Amino acid sequence: MRIELTEYQVSLTGLHARNEKTIQATQDWERSRINEAALKACFDKDCDSLVELQRRVGAEYVTDGQLTLAWQDLFRPISSGFEGLEPGPMVRWFNTNTFFYTPIVKGAISSDGKVLSRAIEKRFVNHGSALKIILPDPLTFSELAEDRFYGSKEKLLFAYTDAIRGELRTLSRVGVKYVQFSAPSLVYRLKQKPFSRAGLKQLGEALRNALKGVSLRSGYYPFFGDASPYLPELLDIIPTDDVGFDLTQTDDSSLSATSKGVIAGIVDSRTTYLEDVASLASRVEGVADRTGTKTLTLAPSADLRFIPRVSADEKLELLGRLRSRVRRGRDAHGPSAPARRGAK
Amino acid sequence: MKAFPTQEIGSLPKFSWRTKPFRQMALTDDDLEAARRWGDLLQVDGRNDLHRLLSKRYAFTDEEKKRIVDFSLLYAIRMCETAGRGLAKEPGLDLVWSGEQARTEMYETPVSNIAGFEFVGRVRSFDNKYWRMASIRSAPKYKENYHLDELLFTKENAERKVKVPVTDAITIMAWSDNNYYTGKWADKAGLQPSKRSFNARREFTLELAKIIRRVIRELIEQGVEEVQIDIPAATQYQSEDDIKLVAESFNETTKGLDATFSVHSCFPPSVGYGILFPHLLEMKKCERFSLEYGNRDTFERGLDPKSRVGFEDLKLFKEYGYKRQLGVGVIHIHTDTLPSVEVVRDRVLYSAKVTDLPPENLYVNPDCGLRTRRPEIAQKMLDLVVGGAELARRKSG
């Protein structure tokens, strides 16, 4: 039996909050009080400080926060930059007080493969940390887009992932190291039944299509809902390296053993209330035990743009403290009985 | 009763001469010119007094600032009461308000006047639009009535019937950081994580509802007849329990009160307003639902489902046998691109067609408050509401 200790990492899982200076700058820019260069300088400083904070808390993969105008919503660079798509009516983003422009599918979806690389802050590539990009997963795209062209969810799923594949290859070439597919539509079902196993398999195929020939580490992160109806199949069907769970919605007891990395959305991104580190650590250790994962990424439950920047940063710092604590616990005691890491 | 009566939804844009004195910014010639031009256009009584007052340009006293706000209320009332001039034979909205000119905005004003909140920073709603989020740090408590002065002023100065918009408990809860109640429920053992957060939301909401009920009761005591309960967040939390809570909160807020109540909501998730049914209909005292539809519609003329795709959700009301009033949003308020008056007419007629409601039960309004538009655009939007309703009236005989 091979025994390995869980490696605890920290990562953001969504768009981050802009800081107050940037907020003011965007409003001043809209009212023509400052020019585009001044606005860009604000965004740059804001991104710098966020990347610096992620480094300080020890994030292995850092994001640029996707703070800029290119990322007004998670779909925007795609709905504005891909052929065949355009932003349509404004619609509420799940159960938040934030809104997005519905991607309207008007023709065959394609891109020049450089849309997303133009939307990220490439200066962070290879500057001591690995850059991560967060994108809508194919299911969320197909569920929220208004399809006026393909006439079938399946065709839409694969058209989207065909276009995304070219983008991911470019991102990989420019030095991005990680892609996370954000997948709220998978678990935010409310009155609808969970997707069928066949639907999940199709999703798995679509993701495989997106990742074909792409040399990025990948994660699949469903949030805003309970993933338990999909467990344990989800872990086998989704082809990404990591799979995550919104643990503000999913009960820990539903998790099961996996050889994948696990993203644990354990810090509530919807409130400034700072959770007790000891309680969180106890839950994290429980998750590590249940899943037997080698890599457990401690994360906010969703985007931290739902609370003001100061609080969002405090949540990130909390994740850093949490990681230190569980690492100390692990190093002091080793794997708890039953010995679990890679026990298969 | 009149067919297709018209109403505003709440806010109107603030003129720069209204906002700058509060930001310690000096007024420019353009600001003064706007006050003069709009005052003439709207025929506002005492506009020359405003001009003299604004000529000071900066360092306004508190008393002077109050007079400036009063004038902005007057301008807004006149904007509502003259809407449609040039387009309609009978200009003016049937139900009016003073454009929330006395409020910071619909969220900030109540949370600034209810004890227990602290502002923690701005959060992005969409694009470069943000709201100042308040965090609840202790149980909320009534401090003072934050709408009384504006109600009294508006009632005294409006010639049309007044409808006062009041932000509801669900919205204040949903737009606030629920720090206090999250902490209170964090350690309750044996509950699913999602149940804990729901319980925190419910307790917070129902505490707020009691405070808002008191605010409304005091407004009713001052003679207000119609109250619009603003619940833009009605479709935010969408679980069965949360939708039930929307109705519970409304019923708790209006319990024991005697007035005409309507509800406004807008911008639902992609599944539409269906998420609210059937619990929406459990709001016992709600006479009218005023909802946004123009946002999702086309700019083509026509009474066919394809041209009027944005209004498909209205069928739900018929399916559930709804017989009371509806307010249909016929103007998308987040763009300066305007439909033609004929398209607005068709939106109104199509709404009547799919709901089977008598025209006098179908109010016409913009999708939402117009505070994000420039005054020129807001005025045109209100003109279209009045003009489109009048054309629909003629067409329907």
pLDDT of residue B201: 97
CB contact under 8 A, A273 and B123: no
pLDDT of residue A335: 57
Give per-residue pLDDT as tens, A68-102.
999 999 999 999 999 999 999 888 899 999 999 99
Nearest CA in chain A to B176: A271
A334 band by pLDDT with thresholds 50, 70 and 90:
low
pLDDT of residue A338: 42
CB contact under 8 A, A97 and B267: no
- In a mutational test of the B interface, the residue from A272, A301, A314, A318 whose CB has the highest number of chain B CBs within 10 Å is A272
Angstrom distance (rounded) from CA A26 to CA A20: 10
Residue A336 has pLDDT above 60, yes or no: no
Given CB atoms, is B373 within the 8 Å cutoff of chain A?
Answer: no
Given CB atoms, is B337 within the 8 Å cutoff of chain A?
Answer: no
CB contact under 8 A, A20 and B233: no
B197 contacts in chain A (CB < 8 Å): 248, 268, 270
pLDDT of residue A1: 37
Angstrom distance (rounded) from CA B31 to CA A291: 64
Nearest CA in chain A to B181: A273
Given CB atoms, is B275 within the 8 Å cutoff of chain A?
Answer: yes
Q: Where are the domains of chain B?
A: 89-396
Q: Which of B135-149, B185-199, B235-249, B320-334 has the lowest mean pLDDT?
A: B185-199
Give per-residue pLDDT as tens, A280-318.
999 999 999 999 999 999 999 999 999 999 999 999 999
CB A138, CB A98: distance < 8 Å: no
Q: Which residues of B21-58 are buried (b: 16+ CB within 10 A; e: fewer)?
A: beeeeebeeebbebbbebbebbebeebeebbebbeebe
A310 contacts in chain B (CB < 8 Å): 120-121
A2 band by pLDDT with thresholds 50, 70 and 90:
very low
CB contact under 8 A, B296 and A89: yes
Nearest CA in chain A to B184: A273
A95 contacts in chain B (CB < 8 Å): 236-238, 242, 269
ipTM higher than the 0.90 cut: yes
Given CB atoms, is B222 within the 8 Å cutoff of chain A?
Answer: no
Report how many Cβ contacts below 8 Å link chain A to chain B. Answer: 120
Mean predicted confidence (pLDDT) in B321-347: 97
Kindly report the average pLDDT of chain B as a whole number. 96
Q: Could you give the strand order of the β-sheet that contains A99-110, starting from the edge strand earlier in sequence? A: A83-92, A99-110, A146-147
Mean predicted confidence (pLDDT) in B97-122: 97
* Domain B89-396 is found in CATH 3.20.20.210: yes
Distance from CA of A91 to the nearest CA of B (A): 5
Given CB atoms, is B174 within the 8 Å cutoff of chain A?
Answer: yes
CATH of the domain spanning A7-333: 3.20.20.210
Give per-residue pLDDT as tens, A117-145.
999 988 888 677 799 999 999 999 999 99
Nearest CA in chain B to A146: B270
Nearest CA in chain B to A101: B126
Nearest CB among A247, A275, A307 relative to B177 is that of A307
Nearest CB among A97, A143, A271 relative to B125 is that of A97
pTM, two decimal places: 0.90
CB under 8 Å to A92, separation ≥6 — which residues?
A98, A99, B235, B236, B267, B268, B269, B270
Q: Where are the domains of chain A?
A: 7-333
- In a mutational test of the A interface, the residue from B14, B108, B120, B128 whose CB has the highest number of chain A CBs within 10 Å is B128
A344 band by pLDDT with thresholds 50, 70 and 90:
very low
